[in-house]
Chains A and B, each alone.
Chain A
Amino acid sequence: MRKIKKIDFVKIVFFNLLLIIVANLSVLFSNFFGISNILSGYSGYVVSLVPPVILLGFIFLDKFIEKGRMSDYGFRSFNLHHLDLILYALLILFPISFASRVLLPGFDFWYSDFMPFSNLSILVIFLIFAMPLAVITEELGERALFQSRISKFFGSNTAVYVVTLNFVILHTPLLLTAKPEYQLLMLVNWLAYAFMISLIFEYTKSVYSTILFHFLANLINSIQMFLHVNLMLIPEAVLWSVWATLFIITLRSIVRELSRKRRSPSLHEISWMQKFYLLFLSILYPISIELGGDDAARYTLFIILLASIMLYYIKDLLVSFTKGQRT
């Protein structure tokens, strides 16, 4: 666990807010230039690339200021072991997904009112364009900028719990519009999937792995929902059956892989103030930003945080400059 400076606390909060603002930009773009615009021309495609590009810009800027390496942000080469881990993580989610489908079959119909699951051509465009971009945006923000830092300062275990909760709460606006039983279903599923993504990042320290897992999870669930809401029962049964067969035959390997010990400091090494800070980051902050704050409040806070970070670095620069002149 590395020593944490005051500015790091501010930067972690700032990067989390940056993701929320950029994710809202994605929604804005998809409304104005979204799927329909992608169909109509090249401009929509270019405009929708803006959110991940903004996040990449901040990653490069931070790397430059911190004199860090790209691997500090999860840009590590992808290897075959990562692929194993991703597949195991997907397979272990089978019981939760199947139970959800069987116990609350109406959920897919409710959810398809918000997603393009009733029309194949729109679904294909969503899957090859809009969804991957949204996944890349979320992973750059939540993993490369946010989890990498929490993991660095507070250890892997803490990072998994904090980021899982934070990630789930950031998805709550949709949750609030649902019936209570669907709220519970979404909460359980999101917690399970978010936990898996955070865990994969801690195992691999690679943002490519989490992007791939997140994409595959969304892809499988989207295809299943499309088959369900269009009542293609036989293909849907085959999909579940493939998932179940692979789950059964790899169960032992999955348990072995996931029970590998990770080196992580215990919570005893974290001060009370830091514990409160983590609680704030995982629950209080995303709730207040996502549910309590409007756009104006978010942008104001964003500017305040950005200004404080800039002032800190300018001050730092001036101090080192005057020190240099003295010597």
Chain B
Amino acid sequence: MTLAYRRVLDLVLLFIFLTFISYVVLDRSDQINSDRIDSSIKHAQLYLKSVYSEEYLYDDPYIRCLSVEQCDPRFKKIDAAIDLIWIRDQVTEHSLIDYQIKNADEFLKNQTILLENEPVFDQRGVFIGDQHCILASMYNDTKITKEIDALVQPYGWANRSLFNDENMYRKIAYESWCVMFLAEKGSNKSTAIMLSEFMLNESLTMTQNPKISSMAKGYAALHSLLIFKRLGELGYNISYYEPRLKLLQDSISAAADDKSLVGDTNAQSIFLMTLSNYKYPQTTTKKIALRLLERQNDDGGWQSAIDKKDNTGESFTTLHAILALNQYKLAYIG
């Protein structure tokens, strides 16, 4: 063996050895274990404790509708309270915010009774019954069930013509909760399946339209995926839809890396929650989880957008981040 040949061989061996060592060291440094997520969630609950308010649930300008016109703090409070109930049902350790969950539960029970007598359409005819359906499902409200059942049409609840290509995701987002509700408690299960297919196809059409924003594509896709996840849990056979559901998951993965959404921590949380729900390849979900963990503030909360200086929406984003990280843990760490 010549000297030059041996030198080259030594170099190649050194390179292979260093690559192996680097890979092991780098892989270990990026690990997300159960402790890391639990500690982040506990820290987040301390934040929620610090911003708790009896009147609004959280002292957050977003929930109090301070920065937006035509906004009712009551509905924001309902949204936040629903998130708390989901935390109760999904996150094992929530003792730090147990009193908040208890209050949220009481508040939602009262709101369900009030919603029984409130319309599910706004003045323009747009369906706004998502909270009706979520609460009716949570508290087994028969009056809302009958109303939602009676109002459903072959196209859903709101007319398709009220939405353009871009904001079609709003119809899907609002109605998806009621589709899940119909599948669970409605009198006509085949309508629920038909509407699920309709939403799946609408979402797929949106993902293939280059003129539609990543935000609209992402939100449409995640609501459709949510529907089919629920259908699966309720015992419906969804294997036929798997290839199309995979395309939607891919579109969420792409939306999570879109430059307009990378800084949107709220969107990142919801995307992580959905992809983890479907056990999407961990290279994507781990990346989003690391992104979220890194963005947690010193006080335990998450800002809704990384470039925002104020704390508008911080409590909402924190609730979503808790649910997302917990879902990631359940799906990949166990």
Q: Tell whether A244 is near chain B: CB-to-CB under 8 Å.
A: yes
Contact (Cβ within 8 A) B293 A244: no
Q: Tell whether B238 is near chain A: CB-to-CB under 8 Å.
A: no
Residue-wise interface mask of A (221-234) relative to B, using a CB-CB cutoff of 8 A (1 in contact, 0 not): 00000001111011
Q: A122-B259, A231-B286 are contacts. A105–B18 as well, Cβ < 8 Å?
A: no
A327–B258 Cα gap in the complex (Å)?
Answer: 74
Contact (Cβ within 8 A) B23 A119: no
Q: Tell whether B139 is near chain A: CB-to-CB under 8 Å.
A: no
Q: A119-B258, A119-B259, A231-B283 are contacts. A105–B30 as well, Cβ < 8 Å?
A: yes
Q: A113-B263, A118-B257 are contacts. A106–B290 as well, Cβ < 8 Å?
A: yes
Give the residue among B263, B294, B298, B306 with the most A Cβ atoms within 10 A. Answer: B294
How far is the CB of B283 from the nearest CB of chain A, in Å? 5
CB contacts (< 8 Å) of B263 on chain A: these are: 113
Contact (Cβ within 8 A) A101 B26: yes
Contact (Cβ within 8 A) B11 A245: yes
Q: Tell whether B185 is near chain A: CB-to-CB under 8 Å.
A: no
Q: Tell whether A128 is near chain B: CB-to-CB under 8 Å.
A: no
Q: A105-B30, A118-B257, A231-B286 are contacts. A237–B23 as well, Cβ < 8 Å?
A: yes
CB contacts (< 8 Å) of B262 on chain A: these are: 113, 118-119
Q: A119-B258, A119-B259 are contacts. A244–B22 as well, Cβ < 8 Å?
A: yes
CB contacts (< 8 Å) of B27 on chain A: these are: 233
CB contacts (< 8 Å) of B49 on chain A: these are: none
Contact (Cβ within 8 A) A245 B15: yes
CB contacts (< 8 Å) of A113 on chain B: these are: 262-263, 295, 306
CB contacts (< 8 Å) of A242 on chain B: these are: 15
Q: Tell whether A302 is near chain B: CB-to-CB under 8 Å.
A: no
- 8 A-B contact pairs sorted by A residue (CB < 8 Å): A109-B290, A113-B263, A179-B298, A238-B22, A241-B18, A241-B19, A244-B18, A249-B11
Known: A231-B290, A237-B20. 10 other contacts (CB 8 A): A113-B263, A116-B259, A119-B259, A231-B283, A231-B287, A236-B26, A238-B19, A238-B22, A240-B18, A245-B15
CB contacts (< 8 Å) of B20 on chain A: these are: 237
Interface size on A, residues (CB 8 A): 30
How far is the CB of A116 from the nearest CB of chain B, in Å? 7
Q: Tell whether A248 is near chain B: CB-to-CB under 8 Å.
A: yes
CB contacts (< 8 Å) of B259 on chain A: these are: 116, 118-119, 122
Choose one: A112, A228, A245; the contact of B14 (CB below 8 Å): A245
CB contacts (< 8 Å) of A122 on chain B: these are: 259
Residue-wise interface mask of A (97-134) relative to B, using a CB-CB cutoff of 8 A (1 in contact, 0 not): 00001110110011011001011001000000000000
A88–B311 Cα gap in the complex (Å)?
Answer: 47
CB contacts (< 8 Å) of B290 on chain A: these are: 106, 109, 229, 231
Choose one: B22, B30, B293; the contact of A231 (CB below 8 Å): B30
Q: Tell whether B3 is near chain A: CB-to-CB under 8 Å.
A: no
Q: Tell whether B170 is near chain A: CB-to-CB under 8 Å.
A: no
